[in-house]
Structure 1
Amino acid sequence: MDAGPSGRPAAGDLRQLLRHVLEDFQSRGGRLHIPIGCHGLEDWLMDAISVPDLLQKLSAGAKDITLLQVCKSKSTTPSQRNLQTNGDPPIISMAELLSRSSGDVRGSGLPASAQEVDANEPVLDLPQLRTGLEEHQLKELAYTVFVGCCSQSGDADLLKVMQGQLEMNDSRAAEVQRILATAASWDGAAPASAVATLEMHVKLLQRVRPANFDSFRNFVRWRDTVSSVVLQILTQAVQDPDNARNSDAVASSSQARHMLARLRGGMRRISVRDADEYDEAEYTEATSTVFEAAAAIASLSSSGWQFPWGLRVRLADLMLRGMFDVLDEGTFIAEKDALLQLLQTRVWPVLGIQPHIHSTIFAWIHFRQFAVTGNQDLLEATTFLIQGIANSPKRSGQGSSLADAAADEEFGVEVAAAIEHWIVLRMSDYHQNFGDPELMHGLVEVLVVAEQSKGADAAVPQVLEACIRSSMEAAYLRLVSTAATEGADDAKNIIAIAKATGALFTFELATYSPLLAPHLPTANQAAARRLHGCFGSDLLTWLLEVKDLAGSTLDAVREADALEVRLLEHVPGGLGDTKPWGTMQLLSPLLYKWVSGQLALLTAWSDRIFETEDWKAVTQPRGCARSAVEVISIAREAIEGLFGMKLPLQVDLVRALTEGIDGVLSRYATLIVEKVGSTDVLIPPPPTLTRYKRELALKAEMEASGDSPRSVRHKPSLSDESLAAFAGDEARLKALTAATLVVRLNSLQYVADHLPDMEKMVQERWQATVPTSARRADGSLGQQDWLFGMFEGAQQSVQHAIEAITQFTGTKVIFYDIRKPILEDLYKHRVDKARIGPVLELMDSALGNMAAETHPEVQPQLIRTMLEAAITAISRVLLDGGPYRFFIPDDTELIEQDLEELNVMFHADGDGLPREEITEALGPISELLTVLGLETGILISNLKQARAAEKSGVSPPGTGSSRLLVYDADVLQHVLAHRADRVASKFLKKEFRMPKKAGGSTGFANGFSSGLSKWRTKIKQKM
């Protein structure tokens, strides 16, 4: 159905579409704020909603939408409909004007006939344009300004033309010219162009008398018009708080209100209706009061005597509309060029209309005339004018000029938005409204330049896509009502609708998509997505009610599949939030049963393989276990079995299998971790904390060196105590050799390496099951998001398992395999006699052997966990070293040297970890060495302060991590306990009753050990 630019989408269709969009917004957690007094989504409210504004909020991800904020506004620009060139406008009583409340002043003041804007006309709602003046008053004021500015031009014909365009009859026009001529003869009179200022009109009130008119009635009409202009402008100046000139805004406002009251009083006094009531002296006195009050208000206003910005723009709008023929609104008058030049050279400089505003107003008028007449030539002119707006000189300056510049800028944006609103409203159903593609093409060009003028170039594709979606849905709803036959078989109706939908899509690609493609290259994709969603909704509703696979049902499924394939050919990027229809879902229940059986078999098989696993390498190099090879093999066989059926498999069915395999592989990784166990069993409890006793320390050192007749070999060592802690797990831990742990790591990495191949296998095999008719020209099916990340759960489980096994391996090497060299021998008795060298040799050997057999992807993580375990062990030696480790401040230098050797070893000339990472990991021990280097007296003092702070509930002294460690009570107690200093020993004995030998009953060790948990956590976090 063809329609002109005035066409609109069917009201019922648009309301239904809007309700669906808003209800969907609410169902997804959005909040709608409905106007007070409105009961739900009523028809009138749906009709008032601005579709582009609503779409903009939805696309921006708004969570709350106030419907009033997305409703359309009435135009404040008067219509040129029903103009009468003869007869006087009605006289408005000054009493009526003065009785209006202050809030009425900002109303549009348009007569009812002008406010009832035709539905086809674009509307512009800008508060600054609401002058409060009637249309005939604005026209008379516009004519007065025009005559004042142009009477000296010598072209009486143009004055006559503007008189007719502004509906001024001869008598009124003659009065205006006579008044201005009289004013020019006054002593010290301002130039005639001063009539474009408020001061001139106030002076006219002062000096013009009834004798200047043909009748007293004409005088009353003129006086009321001028009084209305003066009163409205000055009332707005008083009510606008930003208009105050004085920095003391409160005082200025109070004084202005007082002057406004005086002005109103003077206006009442001059408002005589009959000649018999007129008194010259009284009138003269009253007009003097009016002038004084007006002058006072103008002096307090930043704009002074100048007409407000909105009034000047309205006057310019009225004059520029005069460029068009009153009877044929789509054509210009013959005098258009001469009249336009006169306006630009004589009137605009007086009114302060900048080229930018001239272009904006003229563009708006051209577009409005197009909307009224349908003249497409006006679209080209509109496009040219809007493009010229950006290149037009802008206003600059300070004070009122700065305010005018801001208003100028806002005006351009508002005009562009109003044009966009009108176009988008009609393009929301362009199938119905634009049977002529050329007309739509012209409007799209105007829409694009309007968006560009607002600086919103990037929004053009979004706006056009929203129009496509809306129009495609409206067109689809119409075709459903015509294609479906009442009483016919549902399957046959689906076939008819599918064919009609395909025809609609063909028409869209041939007619509208090429017009939209220059500004929205994906126009065909947007149309395909929308039709896919529309038809899919009806198709799925029907499929849910299908009870058998009759011939017509299969025909409908095939027709629907063919339509989907065709639509998807134009959606290379995928359907976004829309899912494929899945027509095979109700046709393949047995496939789900088959998948369920395959997964059960796969689970049982993998469990049986795992139970018989001996963790010996079966592949080279860096071998993995037999169980890993077989679990991947049977998973691949299950995938091959499903796709070997060569059916057009539904996505959910394939995902059921892949998710099941994902679960089996995740379980395989989890079982490996569970069988290995936790690292907690590897770390023995700390020895009992004892204080330094010189005699005992010397005795122990002599026994260790063999100088004492009593051999230390007869005493249990720390490693013996550690073995006791492993009693229940000793056999299991011995079986968990470094070699078997490496095989476990390689097995996990083997699974991780094959997951991408399996994912690719599913992708390729699934596409191979799709019929040729559903393929693109290149044989592909486009992007299918569901095909990616299908084994993500297994990938994560495998990575977690690798982390756990590497953590266990590193901890086992340090705390189990070389526990004696590091936990017992390192720094025993004297630091300088028990350095870290032998420990590093053992660690280097163990690490080298494992790294050589470990998968390259796992090596860095394995090295990192061993470093973490080594740091934990060293921190234990320094703080929980047992009765044979005592330190002095000078030892810190040797320990720092040992840490540097540790750094060098794990860096391995660049083959290991980065230097920066190792240094950062060693940070907590470096902080601890700061404490170890403190003198005993400082340690005791800090400990006392820390305990006092704890008792009082305040934070300990100092700031920064190192300073806080210096005041950490638990760390200080452990450092003092290992301090080879009699003073420290006496302090601990006195203050804490700390024993000098292990085996006491004070329970002291447990209390101290638990106090270091936060610091040890910090060490782990560094890793």
Structure 2
Amino acid sequence: MDACYMLNRFHHDRHNLLEYLLSSGLIRSRSAASIDLAGVDLDSISPDYVIECILSGSDFDPSEATRRYFESLRYPITAISSQGKPLFFLSSPDPAGSPPHRAAPSVSTTEIAGKSTVHLQIIPDVSSEINVLSTSENGIDNIASEINEVNEVSRSEKGIRNVPNKFNGVSMSENGTDSIEVSMEGHKPANIVDTTSLNLPELTTGLRDVDMQETAYEVLLACILPTLPQSFSAQPPIPEEKKKDKKSLLLKRLRSKKEGKKEGPGPPSEPEICYPDILNLIRAQMEISEAMDELMKQGLRSFSQRKGDEQISIPFISLELLHSISKLDFQTERSRTHFIKRQANILEELLLCSANTDSNMRTSLGILLTKIRSSEEWVVNSGDSQVEVLTVIQRYASMLADSAPKFNLHGESCCWTSSYYFNMRLYEKLLCTIFDVLEEGQIVEEAEDILELMKLTWATLGVTQELHDALIVWVLFEKFNETGQVLLLKYALREIENVISKSSYESNEEAYVNSILCSIEEDGHKRNLNLVDTVVFKISAWCRFQLEDYHLHFSQDNYPVFGDVVKLMVMLGTQYHDKFEVMRVLAPGTNLEMKMLHFFVEKSIQAACNHVTKMSDNIASSGSHPLAVIANELDLIAEKEFTKFSTILCSYYSEAGRVAFILLHLFYGERLKPFLEEITHLSEPLNAVLSAANNLELSLARKLYSLYGESVESPMNQYVDPYQIPNFSSPLILQWIQAQHEKILEWTNRAVELEDWEPLSSNKKQANSAVEVFRIMEETIEQFFSSNLPMDTIHLRFLLIGISRSLEAYVLHIVDQQVDKTILYPSKPILTRHSESTNHFIKRKHIEQRELEEKVTVKLKSLTVLKLCVKLNTLRYIRNQLDSMEDSITESWRHLQLGLSFSDYFPCIFKGHKFTSSTKNFLATDQSVDELFTVFDDVRKSSIEASEKILDFIGARAIFLDLRQSFLFSLYRGSVDQARSEIFIPQLDQVLDRICDLIIDELRDQVVLSICRASMEGFIWILLDGGPSRAFSESNVEHMQEDLTILKDLFIANGHGLPPDEVEMESKLVHGILDLYALKTEMIIEMLMHASEQANGNSKPAVGTRTGKDAQTLLRVLCHKKERGASKFLKLHYQFPRSSEYDDLPESNQTPKLPSLSGIFKRSQSIDWSSTLTRQGSLKSFKKKFQEAASEIRKKPW
């Protein structure tokens, strides 16, 4: 909407508001209880004064109100804002800062041609009107909002007008004031054209918008009344419900045109137009009161009867109304005064300003119109005086009406050309009645009937079909511009096709249309165009303004409009092809239409890039690198271009998408290249820039491939310059990975050294250090892949090597903490023969226990059964996490490579090669990646080996160290019957319970099996190396077998523990040894002889092997055999000392101490057969003695 419309709207609203305030009883009058509005000119009183009277309760003085109003006109206008009241000059609506030091210029009188000046009523300028509407300090909110609208109007008067809020892509609420100012400065078109009005010649009499609306209705009545029945009167208004249920017939037809005709019965025939109903609807649409409507009909009914089929002229309508309507016909004096002034202004506009009027006649008419305009004088001079004045004016109007026509058109009158600007404005008001006043932007159902009725005014207003088509396009476009209703633009698009398709007219009609001139300003120069060309030009100028920065003007709410605007511009804009200069890239041989669209794409992309650059400068202070911000914003622009604009633009210009994306690539590349040349190391800001640049290039490549496929042949490829990010990022990534390796390794060593090997929680039974190590590794991996930089297998291999080395260092630290389990075994006591002690006072020899080294003792503190369980859980956790990490890295790598599949797109089009995007090489890539993960196999292998060592050690720890006193040193000591299994089974059961609570389910059976195996070894140690205090008879075997069964049942645990087969396998040797104790001594000696003969045949007897029937086992069975024959045999042939001479019990209140590792083979009989032979003599001499003893036994009975 233009400034004139807004100003008239403000006049109307202010008028109604003041009328309400003065008649509501809120204000007192000095002379009466209520204020007589008949004597008050509401257009000349100060609203500030009225509000002050209401707030203070003081009396209203009309003279003071008038004085305050005219006094306010001397000051510059102000606009209310949060920062205060910025001031404006009267001559310009732009902010002027501080108040001016000189008085504002006064409004001069209108000079009429011929140097004869007549004081006419001048329309108030915008500044004074805003001053009238400005609120006081305690002003009203809605008035303040109207002031803000006027500020927008003043901005539009300069030609820098935004699309209304419902259509503009950038709203104040979304981007703020600053962003709008920046965008408008950065994206201002080269030629700004005022697209808010047709720029018809201005009215000189100050007729307001409401005056023109009433006049248009009067013209319509004068033209339609002759066709109505004599009994026609005002019809009742259309109910609100009916208005709300109306659908737009024009929009229905628009949709039917797009959807196509459907089969079925044809539409019903159109009913005949009911003029009374349509006229009543028009009256409601034009907001004409019923009283005024009746008054107009009353005054024009006799006039229409007299005229009949004669052509009606607007001056005669005004003269007839002045003549036929008396003072008593008006309800208020104010309405009568307004009516008379309006008619006088119409006559002045049409008669006094005519070029055919000479100077003397102008003077005379001016005096007569002044009498009419003077309300009091016109009332006093009633009767003959009024008739005389009107007769003189009518005579002059008839003289003008009888002037020869210029174009010899049917029905042409002088008013067609002399006051065309007035007529076109009236017709525009009539056309606006097709828009529903109750529903913004909607067309009433009776629109076509209304338009058909408007044809009756063509002869009076000088409207032809071509002018009608152009004006209907204009009002549709204006209403769309005001409301943002997309269907209005679509309908205007269809109608404008009719305008430009009519290329041939009659010469006279064409000459007449060319005489309807409008003024336009372009490139700082004014020129005139006919009204049709003006409509086309202004709409195309508006389209150009929108398309030169379509990224700014088309937001999410009005994307559907873009296609229609482009279509409009394609139809209208090619005639101005000389204005579409191309800035950068353009393929040769491009036609005018493509050149125009190419221009819009370049212009909009450049404007969007400039806006991003300005925005990045403001964001740079927040810590983000400007280049990273620019790249991210350009990516958003590219996405918007691809999803919203490219499809539509490419339908008219196939290279539109390529132009947009190559320009974006080129724009960022010009800023990125200098930056890349200065980088030396990878930092967080640098990584952000490289990542954003790489993402932008890949995004542009994917979009170009989506639009144009593998085809890269285009003249615009010469502007492509790849960023070559890999050349800069590859060495920097390797440096970064190396730094991360050192960080991870340092953290791993620190974490594992501080680890106390306690479970993390009842659910997470691994050590905290392993969790921390993997957390650091996962953060590194996440940073590695989130960098979004181009990478190859070298970078991945380097990363995996660093991870595996850190994990190997962790596992190695666990292994280094382990000790040999043989250190835990008690020293084997000296071999003796059983003998009963007869002298209890003899001093026995004490067998010393082995003492552990200090460093071994320190290590054993961290090798408790529970800590060992945590270590086993941790090693299993490492293997599980390693598998998960491998899967995660593989998936991330595949995703990364898939995203980088377009990394060669720009290099290919730069070199002119064909680009092929496929996944056929992914299989080979996956195989090469799988080979890289073999470095993890070393970690798994070392972890498994460490677990096996711990499993082998944990059983020995539990049995030979933790249960040494209750099991090894107590079971069967002194007597089998007095020291059986019940002395250690409860403690062993507790150990197993604690282990099962702490160890993870996957490792439970392995740990329990290790305890079971160690228990059987301990049982064997008791049976064969139990020392001088243990001796077993054949009768004890049954009890010992029962104890063994109890021990096995403990590990089987009624089917909830180890499998019975495994337990039986582990106890097989124990059963064999117990069976030996059940044999007779002669049988054992014979078996010993046989085993010795077999051992003699082997040059290198097995060391430490025990089968249950080997010489080593049989000899020790004889040593612990509680039988006289066995003792005699050992004394005769081995000279073993008696068991009663030694005491192998540990000292009281002391933990048994084992001899050092170096003394194992020096002071005791070793379990190794080779060590026994070393102590007795050479192997050859021992064989000889043993053979002699065997032959002697055979000869002598026991």
For Structure 1 versus Structure 2, the TM-score category normalised by the shorter chain is 0.3 to 0.5
| TM-score (ref. length: structure 1) | 0.42
